[in-house]
Amino acid sequence: MLGKNKGANVPFSETVIELFIRLCGISAIIFVFGIFFFVFREGAGFLFGGLDLGQFLTSPEWYPTSLSHKRYGTFALILGTFSVTALAMLLAVPFGLGAAIFVSEFCSPKLRETFKIIIELLAAIPSVVWGFIGLTLMNQLIIKLFNAPIGLTMLNGSIMLALMSVPIIVSIAEDALKAVPDSYREAAEALGATRWQVIYRVLLPAAKNGLLAAVLLGAARSIGETMAVLMATGHSVNIPEGPLSWIRTLTATIAAELGEVARGSEHYQVLFIIGILLFTITFVVNLIADLVIKGIRQA
Amino acid sequence: MQKANIAVFTTRDVIAPTNLSERLANNKKTFLTFIVLLSAFGCAPSDDATGTARPGKPVVIKNKGSDTMVNLAQAWAEAYIGVSTTASVEVSGGGSGTGVAALINGTVDIANCSRQIRPKELEQATKNTGKVPREFIVGYDALAVYVHPDNPLTRISIPQLAEIYGEQGTLKKWSELGIAHAACPSDKIIRISRQSNSGTYFYFREALLGKARDFALGSLDLHGSKDVVEVIERTPCAIGYSGMGYATAHVKMLDVAVESGAPYYAPNLQNVLDKTYPIARPLYMYSLGEPTGEVKIYLDWLLSPVGQKIVERLGFVPLKSEGSP
């Protein structure tokens, strides 16, 4: 009797759970397409009717509110986004991977737990706080250290982005290294490899997929970040000449201007077209990452 | 949600191109009518702008005009919901000219104007309605030019500011202004500006360059009046503009002259009130004839300390304030 009841209940609850999980999976797809549709719909009118796409992509002149001659060129903004992300990755990847190797291979278990908590704490700091640190503390520091006219620069933004993406890189890379079976390490050590040789010759090649994923997720975090770069980079339409140039990113432009723009106006639609551009960039980055990982797997 | 809607409608009017503003004004009107309906417990606003009370029904005061003032006018209207049970205020934008035109036609109780009414408009209104429009100054819109305290510069003229900020401007270095700025070794003038669709940006650009010329690219377009002052505090090479009320002890405000030969005036309340400080303008409201009834009560409330607190809260200069520098 009891057994029969149980037998009748289990398939039912399983069906419910299965349905729920299925819905969760489908909803992710629906949301992505829904968002894309919304962004595209808001920008489409001007994208296909009036916007000079060549000028949009290649002109550095961003004058969305000029009274005499409106110009919508995002070239400086695209360069800004790419340069600040690249510099951030240059700073974050060595630190992130180094920290991950240290935590995974050299730490005592007790120290490891402390480190992980601290690193996770770093990830919990809201980006507006990083932005404020950039606006005040880092601004002064860069002026003093580099004798720069102003510290709100690409370097400032990159340091903030690096600090924000390091926790992501560390925790994912550390997981990837931990996933390498101990038998690999033992075998290498049995063959007489030093600790460094074990890491360099055995662990890194074995964990390369996970490490690449860590780096790409860190980069994605940097490209998508808005508030910190809005505050720390100077938010200036300017073609970057070096780390001490003040720049503006695509995301920060949307954040700063969308709040006060007339709904449905050209400017409003252009901001959504920038959204489409960001969507495309992220898609391409992800696609390349996928292809690279597949390539590595086959090799 | 309603709050957010109001913010969107108000700011959009400030920046909307002329062909849009009519439509937007209509939107806003509809929305505010909705608010009025809510606050009046389902009572429809009357179409005639009489401003006289009917028993049991709140009077709707119609208020139209300047886009610069539309935020302020709506903040007042919102606050007034909690003040008066016998009247509510319906605000719409469209521009100072629209407000005055409505006043001439007698379709509004109060017109908002960020400029003074023109003699011809005054004459038309008097002729058309039989009443002489009465002028009220309800606050001021004033911008200060800020630099770092270590900057030896104490004063600047509007043409100099135009050459610093304008497209193809000729002033790029502090030494070109005739000063030796020791705290700024690079000698570069770092232009601090605002995001290009803020009302402050619009007013400053027009005050410096008129309507035909744009600001040069490469300025640091900060997000918010407070950030401007915060960055200048820490950046010896910087120059920037922001509302007068945002001054702190760690920045310096420059005296400003209309032309290079003209006298320089400090951005203080007295000079704003005297109309000698050049980057400030009074904000006007006009009623048809001497205001009476609910319109008079509303205008008296606007000009009272409570109403003027709202002026200060929105970053404008109140008529008489104790807190501002």
Which of B214, B226, B237, B250 would you mutate first to test chain A, the one with the most A CBs within 10 A? Answer: B214
For chain A, the domain total comes to: 1
Q: In this complex, do B220 and A76 lie within 8 Å of one another by their Cβ atoms?
A: no
Contact B96, B112 (CB under 8 A): yes
Q: In this complex, do B223 and A257 lie within 8 Å of one another by their Cβ atoms?
A: no
Residues of A in contact with B165 (CB under 8 A): none
Tell me the mean pLDDT in the region A251-263.
81
The range of the structural domain enclosing residue A284 comes to: 76-298
Top pLDDT among A8 and B131 is at B131
Tell me the mean pLDDT in the region A50-72.
89
Residue whose structure tokens are 């005061």: B61
Residue B73: which residues within 8 A CB-CB, separation 6 or more?
Answer: B63, B65, B89, B91, B112
pLDDT, one tens digit per residue, over B277-292 is 999 888 899 999 899 8
| Rounded Cα gap, residues A128 and A228, in angstroms | 6
Tell me the mean pLDDT in the region A97-102.
94
Domain assignment of residue A197, yes or no: yes
| Rounded Cα gap, residues B235 and A148, in angstroms | 10
Averaged pLDDT, groups of 10, chain B, 325 residues long: 37 37 44 43 41 64 83 90 90 80 90 84 89 91 92 95 93 92 91 82 88 90 85 93 84 94 88 86 89 92 91 80 42
Predicted confidence band of residue A260 (pLDDT cuts 50, 70, 90)? low
Domain assignment of residue A31, yes or no: no
pLDDT, one tens digit per residue, over A156-205 is 999 999 999 999 999 999 999 999 999 999 999 999 999 899 999 999 99
Domain assignment of residue A66, yes or no: no
Domain assignment of residue A13, yes or no: no
Domain assignment of residue A47, yes or no: no
Neighbours of B182 (CB within 10 A): 11
Q: In this complex, do B234 and A231 lie within 8 Å of one another by their Cβ atoms?
A: no
Cross-strand bridge partners of residue B57? B54
b/e sequence B102-133, b meaning 16+ C-beta within 10 Å: bbbeeebbbbbbbeebeeebbebbeeeeeeeb
| Rounded Cα gap, residues B108 and B218, in angstroms | 44
User: Distance, in angstroms, between B297 CA and closest chain A CA?
Assistant: 33
Domain assignment of residue A136, yes or no: yes
User: Distance, in angstroms, between B7 CA and closest chain A CA?
Assistant: 9
User: Distance, in angstroms, between B191 CA and closest chain A CA?
Assistant: 10
Residue B324, CA atoms < 13 Å, CB-side half-sphere:
25
Domain assignment of residue A41, yes or no: no
Helix/strand/coil for B214: coil
pLDDT, one tens digit per residue, over A217-231 is 899 889 989 999 999
**Domain holding A167: CATH number?**
1.10.3720.10
Residue A115, CA atoms < 13 Å, CB-side half-sphere:
19
Tokens of B206: 């027009």
* pLDDT reported for residue A294: 77
Residues of B with CB under 8 A from a CB of A: 8, 11-17, 20, 24, 184-186, 188, 190, 195-198, 201-202, 211-214, 217-223, 227, 230-231, 234-238
* pLDDT reported for residue A291: 83
What is the signed CA dihedral for B67, B68, B70, B72, rounded to 10 degrees?
Answer: 180
Domain assignment of residue A187, yes or no: yes
pLDDT(A73) > 50? yes
Nearest alpha-carbon partner for A169 in A86, A88, A91, A100: A100
Residue B24: which residues within 8 A CB-CB, separation 6 or more?
Answer: A262, B9, B12, B13, B16, B93
Neighbours of A11 (CB within 10 A): 10
